[in-house]
Amino acid sequence: MPGAAGAGHERVLHWLKAQGPASTAEVAAALGITAEAARQQVQKLVADGLLAGETMPSRGAGRPRQAWALTEAGHNRFPDAHSTLTIQLIGSIRQLFGEDGLDRLITQRAVETRAQYKQAIDPLPGLPARMEKLAEIRSAEGYMARVERDGDDWLLIEDHCPICAAAKTCQGFCRTELELFQELIGERGTVSRETHILAGGQRCTYRVRTRATAA
């Protein structure tokens, strides 16, 4: 059943993309499959150049453990919003209109994105509903976003960046996103970026520290 096997490989790849390096046993436990099935699927992804082994510190006494992580080819299996064309366009805008012209473009994109997000999120009264809606919107745009609680705080976690190539070329895209998130949260909390894909992080993580007025 090649279709089922292919679906299994994709499940493993997506889970490792979201969770980071993990052992074969951890893959099997998380996906509810046998250790042998997990081993076969991992080895197929390794043979395809999508996974590679890493040596990870032991979680207790004992030897370091082997874990599996996505290679660059593995990460490239996830959409990057037509990265080559985007980089070329950014370069052309810089050449024709300079940094000021590029800044105006980013500002205009931020204005349009802000209007779309606010239309969807502003009617929601409480912080939990706003966070869930924000994650839903971001996931629809390819960011593989989810929300988690961390004590009194909220975490917005994005396991993928579909505009990573553009953001590497012009980090103004990331700056406007952080500003937008803070505006959407408003007085309910303070938003900060804790991990960043462009800084070598596995994912982008935003912490929302709640205030006494948070709903």
158 in Cβ contact with 138 (< 8 Å): yes
CA-CA-CA-CA dihedral for 75, 77, 82, 84, to nearest 10: 60
Q: What is the tens place of the pLDDT at every residue in 108-162? A: 878 888 999 999 999 998 899 999 999 999 988 888 899 999 998 999 999 888 7
- By residue count, the chain amounts to 215
How do the domains of the chain map onto residue ranges? 2-75, 83-210
Q: Measured between alpha carbons, how far is 15 from 159 in angstroms, rounded to an integer? A: 10
Nearest to 40 by CA among 75, 71, 12, 21: 12
- Decide whether 2-75 matches 83-210 in CATH topology: no
Mean pLDDT of 70-75: 80
Q: What is the tens place of the pLDDT at every residue in 81-111? A: 556 656 677 677 777 777 787 788 778 878 8
* pLDDT in the model for residue 59: 60
Q: What 3-state class would DSSP assign to 52?
A: strand
* pLDDT in the model for residue 191: 94
This model's pTM is above 0.85: no
Nearest to 120 by CA among 104, 135, 134, 103: 134
* pLDDT in the model for residue 82: 53
Q: Return the CATH fold of 83-210.
A: Muramoyl-pentapeptide Carboxypeptidase; domain 2 (3.30.1380)
Q: Return the CATH fold of 2-75.
A: Arc Repressor Mutant, subunit A (1.10.10)
185 in Cβ contact with 207 (< 8 Å): no
CA-based angle 106:176:204, to the nearest 5? 125
How much is the mean pLDDT over the chain? 82
* pLDDT in the model for residue 2: 44
